[in-house]
Amino acid sequence: MPAAATQEQLRQAFRQWGLPGAIRVDNGTPWGSAGDCPTDLALWLIGLGVELIWIPPRCPQNNGVVERSQGTGKRWAEPATCADAGELQRRVDEQDRIQRELYQSVGGLSRLEAYPSLKHSTRSYSAKDEAAQWDIKRVIEHLARYVMVRRVDCKGIVSLYNKNRYVGRKLSGQDVYVSLDPVKVEWVYSSRDGVCYHRQEADELTAERVMRLEVSHHRIRPKPPRRTRVSLSPANHAVG
């Protein structure tokens, strides 16, 4: 599911259940990335005051309760017997309600009876008030904890949030350590010993871009030329 679609689903959940204090996520799309920067969706949640807890890569057992719950939901909903996506969604909603409100799982009580706080987090959320709740300072403070290693290419360039940034040809072939200055909101490129090589404005870290999930630069790759196939039949050949 694309990050924007996941964002809308989360907004619906937040309206119903309230903002959670934290969300435990895996390292797949759209939570994890090939690099070591938090993804656009992760930054949006952090700006809302929701802590992200990433489980270690390839360790689903660290999120065992959720994995088991999803497996139970799949068995109960029986996707293969659904006529369409709408029917599957209705079944999933119903089995979720049964697991939460009816199934005796905690000392003879349902989960909702045992943990009434599951009904709402008490942290209200409204889409129209999201901008007022959201704070870019949370994002800056979170990113300031990171130190990312980048290898400078032959042109003196490194990539950060999928955007090429020039740090100098004299650093070609070397590793630079990238961190964020939270006061000036600048990317700082340093040696392993902390010697600063270069600084650049972190122009992608604005409230507008994070909330629109536009921190990462999306490169447009040209489509390869379309190949035309020529079919040769006996009629195409001259008879000698």
pLDDT of residue 93: 86
pTM of the model: 0.80
CATH topology of domain 3-133: Nucleotidyltransferase; domain 5 (3.30.420)
Length of the chain: 240
Percent of the chain beyond pLDDT 90?
A: 57
pLDDT digits (tens, 9 = 90+) for 78-117: 888 999 999 998 988 888 888 888 888 888 999 888 988 8
Angle, helices 85-97 vs 64-77, to 10°: value is: 120
- CA separation for the pair 58, 26 (Å, rounded): 9
pLDDT of residue 220: 54
Q: Domain residue spans in the chain?
A: 3-133, 145-211
Q: Phi, psi at residue 186, to the nearest 5°?
A: -130, 145
Over residues 146-175, the mean pLDDT reads 95
- CA separation for the pair 189, 174 (Å, rounded): 12
Structurally, what CATH architecture does the domain formed by 145-211 represent? Roll (2.30)
- The pair of structure tokens assigned to 78 is 């029986």
- CA separation for the pair 4, 198 (Å, rounded): 34
